[in-house]
C-alpha cells in the first residue's frame, strides 16, 4: 500500500502491534479469550455541516488483502489489479455521516490492520490504485495531491485477534477537522478532540517561532488559495522530499544540540530505565558512539534521525535486542523533547515541565502539546516517566464492543 502511515501496522501472523514508522511498544491486555471477530464502529458528526464523509481503509486480518468498508452494510470492497498506475478507485466507498447532533452512523468493523478512518467535510476524498494492487492514499503534505485543498483528518487503528488498538495521532499532521474517540468493551476509554481553533493557534505559534529563530517552522503551515489554514504538517513530512539533499529543510538544525550532548556524556553517565522492571542501561560516549553496558551502540543522530525517529541510529531494526529497542525509544524521545543534555536519568529523571525548554527542540511537538489535551506529536511520544499520566492518545481493549469516532 502506498500511504503516509505514521504508526500502526501489524504482522500478518497477528498478536503483536508493530509499527511502520519507529514507534515501538507491546501494549499489554489482560489475559482473556480471543478478541471478537467484529466490533461496532460509530461515526458521529459534531461539526457545523451535514456534508461530512468517512472512509475506512486497511488490510484484512488473516488474508492481508487491502480493502475499504462501504456504506449501508454492503461489506468491504477489496481493491483489484488496475490496468495502469494512478487508476481512480472504481467504487465510491464514502460513508455519509448524519447531520450534526444526530445519532451516529454505525457500521460493522471486521478485523483489520494498518488501518485508518478518514473524515472529510464539504467534499469527498480521491483514492487511486497502483499495480500490486496497492492503494494510493491522500498525501496531504503534497500541494499536487488531489486532496490537498480539502479539510480532512484521520485516526489509525489495528483490530486483530488480541485487541482493538486505536489512536488519535498528530505524528504526521494536525488538521482543522479534529477527532475524538471512545472505545468501549471490557473498559471504557475516551480521548478528547482538539479544541476548535487549535490548528490556528498551533500555526501562529510556529510562525512566531520561525520569526524568532529563522528556521522554516512557518513552512509547516498549509493554507488553501484563500489563505485559510487547512493543516499543520510535522517537520519530517516537509523534509521527506528532500532527504539526502543539501537543501533539506531543517538541515543542520540539531547539530549543535547533538554535539552538546555527546561532549557531556564523554565524561558523565547516561542512564536509561527500560521501565517495566527491565532494568537500567548505563552508557558513555566512546569515540563517536554512545555505548551502553549491554553492548548497545548509537551513532550521532542527525536532523532526519531525530525528527523521523526511524533512520540512522534510531532505525527500527527487527533483529535488535528488546533492550536496544527500548533504549532507542527513550533516547529518541529525550532528543525530541530536548531533555537529554541535562537529565542523565531517562525518562524518569526528566519532568514533563522540562520538556521542550531548550531553544533547540521539536517546536512542532511543543506547539501541539501546548494546544491539545492528548495525542502523539512524534513517533515515540508514548514514552513517559513512571507515574505520569499517558499523553499519547491511545486506547486499546481485548474485548471491544463499540468504537465511537466523533468529528468536530
Q: Could you read off the pLDDT of 55-68 as tens digits, one per residue?
A: 999 999 999 999 99
32 plus 156 within the same structural domain: yes
384 within domain boundaries: no
24 plus 173 within the same structural domain: yes
Tell me the sheet residues that pair with 109.
Answer: 39
* pLDDT score at 33: 67
Q: Range of 349's domain?
A: 255-359
23 plus 48 within the same structural domain: yes
For residue 211, give the C-alpha cell.
520569526
Instruction: Please indicate whether residue 264 or residue 372 has the higher confidence score (pLDDT).
Output: 264
Query: Does pLDDT of 14 surpass 80?
Result: no
Global pTM reads 0.89
* Per-residue pLDDT tens digits for 332-347: 999 999 999 999 999 9
Query: Does pLDDT of 18 surpass 50?
Result: no
* pLDDT score at 345: 99
Mean of pLDDT over the chain? 92
374 within domain boundaries: no
Asked if residue 230 lies in contact with residue 224, where contact means CB atoms within 8 angstroms, the answer is: yes
207 plus 188 within the same structural domain: no
170 plus 236 within the same structural domain: no
17 plus 144 within the same structural domain: yes
116 closest CA partner among 165, 177, 162, 57: 57
231 plus 311 within the same structural domain: no
* Per-residue pLDDT tens digits for 149-197: 999 999 999 999 999 999 988 999 999 999 999 999 999 999 999 998 9
* Per-residue pLDDT tens digits for 184-208: 999 999 999 999 899 999 999 999 9
* Per-residue pLDDT tens digits for 348-357: 999 999 999 9
Query: Does pLDDT of 383 surpass 80?
Result: yes
Asked if residue 192 lies in contact with residue 375, where contact means CB atoms within 8 angstroms, the answer is: no
For residue 34, give the C-alpha cell.
480471543
Q: How close are the terminal C-alpha atoms of the chain, in Å?
A: 29
Total domains in the chain come to 3
| Integer Cα distance of 387 and 385 in angstroms | 6
225 plus 259 within the same structural domain: no
264 plus 401 within the same structural domain: no
37 plus 176 within the same structural domain: yes
349 within domain boundaries: yes
CATH number at residue 36: 2.60.110.10
217 plus 345 within the same structural domain: no
247 within domain boundaries: no
169 plus 318 within the same structural domain: no
For residue 52, give the C-alpha cell.
461530512
44 within domain boundaries: yes
Confidence of residue 393 (pLDDT cuts 50, 70, 90): confident
91 closest CA partner among 105, 113, 110, 72: 72
259 closest CA partner among 302, 323, 296: 302
Amino acid at each position: 500500500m502506498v500511504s503516509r502511515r505514521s504508526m500502526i501496522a501489524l504482522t500478518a501472523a497477528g498478536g503483536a502491534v508493530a509499527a511502520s514508522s519507529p514507534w515501538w511498544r507491546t501494549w499489554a491486555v489482560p489475559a482473556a479469550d480471543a478478541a471478537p471477530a467484529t466490533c461496532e464502529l460509530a461515526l458521529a458528526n459534531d461539526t457545523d455541516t451535514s456534508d461530512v464523509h468517512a472512509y475506512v481503509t486497511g488490510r484484512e486480518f488473516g488474508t492481508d488483502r487491502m480493502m475499504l468498508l462501504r456504506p449501508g452494510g454492503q461489506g468491504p470492497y477489496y481493491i483489484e489489479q488496475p490496468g495502469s498506475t494512478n487508476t481512480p478507485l472504481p467504487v465510491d466507498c464514502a460513508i455519509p455521516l448524519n447531520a450534526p447532533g444526530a445519532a451516529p452512523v454505525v457500521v460493522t468493523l471486521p478485523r483489520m490492520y494498518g488501518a485508518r478512518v478518514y473524515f472529510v467535510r464539504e467534499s469527498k476524498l480521491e483514492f487511486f490504485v497502483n499495480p500490486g494492487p496497492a492503494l494510493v492514499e491522500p498525501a496531504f503534505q503534497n500541494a499536487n495531491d488531489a486532496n490537498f485543498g480539502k479539510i480532512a483528518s484521520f485516526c489509525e487503528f489495528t483490530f486483530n485477534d488480541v485487541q482493538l488498538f486505536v489512536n488519535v495521532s498528530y505524528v504526521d499532521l494536525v488538521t482543522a477537522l479534529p477527532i475524538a474517540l471512545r472505545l468501549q468493551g471490557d473498559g471504557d476509554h475516551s480521548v478528547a478532540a482538539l479544541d476548535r481553533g487549535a490548528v490556528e493557534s498551533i500555526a501562529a505559534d510556529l510562525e512566531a517561532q520561525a520569526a524568532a529563530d529563522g528556521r522554516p517552522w512557518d513552512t509547516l503551515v498549509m493554507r488553501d488559495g484563500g489563505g485559510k489554514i487547512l493543516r499543520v504538517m510535522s517537520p519530517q513530512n516537509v523534509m521527506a522530499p528532500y532527504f539526502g539533499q543539501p537543501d533539506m529543510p531543517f538541515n543542520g538544525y540539531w547539530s549543535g544540540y547533538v554535539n552538546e550532548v555527546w561532549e557531556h556524556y564523554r565524561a558523565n553517565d547516561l542512564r536509561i530505565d527500560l521501565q517495566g522492571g527491565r532494568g537500567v542501561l548505563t552508557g558513555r560516549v566512546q569515540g563517536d558512539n554512545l555505548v551502553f553496558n549491554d553492548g548497545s551502540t548509537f551513532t550521532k543522530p542527525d536532523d532526519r534521525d531525530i525528527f523521523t525517529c526511524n533512520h540512522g541510529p534510531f532505525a527500527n531494526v527487527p533483529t535488535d535486542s528488546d533492550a536496544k529497542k527500548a533504549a532507542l525509544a527513550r533516547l529518541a524521545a529525550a532528543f525530541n523533547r530536548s531533555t537529554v543534555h541535562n537529565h542523565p536519568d531517562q525518562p524518569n529523571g526528566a519532568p514533563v515541565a522540562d520538556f521542550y525548554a531548550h531553544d533547540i527542540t521539536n517546536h512542532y511537538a511543543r506547539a501541539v502539546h501546548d494546544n491539545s489535551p492528548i495525542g502523539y506529536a512524534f513517533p515515540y511520544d508514548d514514552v513517559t516517566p513512571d507515574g505520569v499520566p499517558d499523553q499519547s492518545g491511545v486506547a486499546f481493549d481485548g474485548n471491544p464492543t463499540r468504537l465511537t469516532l466523533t468529528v468536530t
